[in-house]
Structure 1
């Protein structure tokens, strides 16, 4: 049995509504409530595994809100029917962790994902900006240099926009989505490949 009786057309319409209506600011009346219904229902509405309230953005939280208004009573799961909601959430977090390991293995020094909170427009369920690759150690490879405790995309000219990077809360697993960090990471991979080839040739 599906976790929601909403059709795919209804879900697409709700997702479009959420993109149009959510806006840049959160509604405290919505974010103060628990996510409605079950993990399985939230996953069906989002179109991806739901990993808990901190795994979604404000527009996604708004989507769950208007979907619950549209479907106040989702289908009841039969007692004999196994629930996969928490298992799906666990697998989703494990996949995020594996994806981050594949990314971080390309960085030659210790790094983690951190969000840039320099902007003042941050609330509990709304985050302006992106998540960065944050260096815990000094990086120097080829002509690329970054001081420790800075994002991979750091440059002196951008320093005032890249000041606040507090560690993520325990259990908060994210992937970096900063395009500038991604570009620098690709350069690092290229430099490492050239250096490796040169070492093999000597």
Structure 2
């Protein structure tokens, strides 16, 4: 580049140090931002709905069985590495449960069955507001509480 061209670029950068982006990029960014905001609103609404469903199920289960429980994560899996966690969040019984043919001892997950009694299971208490993700626990809890899953 010649000296006059460089000097004109210098003058232009001083006159308008950060020029506005082209209109097409501005419109694309606005569209993307609107889509991202809508996605975040939908995710927040889904999370709120799941929390409300769990609270209703937990209340119904407590009333139907009279058993105390909490949600705990299964740390038995060897795939608990930095940033990666495998395993489900279970409904963990704090009291013994006897309802009909269903019998579960205290300090066991609701989905526990005698055939898996030899499997090592580590359920540490974490008070971080987890929701249960174990399908077997949720299915059995709904059955015991006499509720059905909400339509999604």
Q: Smaller-chain TM-score range?
A: 0.5 to 0.7
Give, in whole Å, the separation in 2 of the partners of 1:96 and 1:179: 14
Greater relative contact order, per chain length (Cα 8 Å cut-off, separation 6+): 2
Preserved CA contact (<8 Å) 1:99 1:175: no
Residue ranges of structure 2 left out of the alignment (5+ in a row): 1-28, 148-152
Q: Any idea what SS the aligned residue of 1:105 has? A: helix
Q: Which runs of 4+ in 1 moved over 6 A?
A: none
Q: Which runs of 5+ in 1 are unaligned?
A: 12-39, 50-87, 193-202
1:128 CA displacement: 0.6
Per-residue deviation, 1:47: 5.5
2:43 alignment partner, SS class? coil
Partner of residue 185, structure 1: 141
Matched, 1:176 2:132: yes
CA RMSD of aligned residues (A): 3.4
Q: How far is 1:150 from its partner?
A: 0.5
Count of aligned positions:
113
For residues 64-87 of structure 1, give each alpha carbon's deviation from its aligned partner in whole angstroms, at most 9, with x where no partner exists.
Answer: xxxxxxxxxxxxxxxxxxxxxxxx
> Of the two, which has the highest radius of gyration?
2
Post-superposition shift, 1:124?
4.8
Say which of 51, 67, 81 aligns to 1:123: 81
TM-score, normalised to structure 1's length?
Answer: 0.46
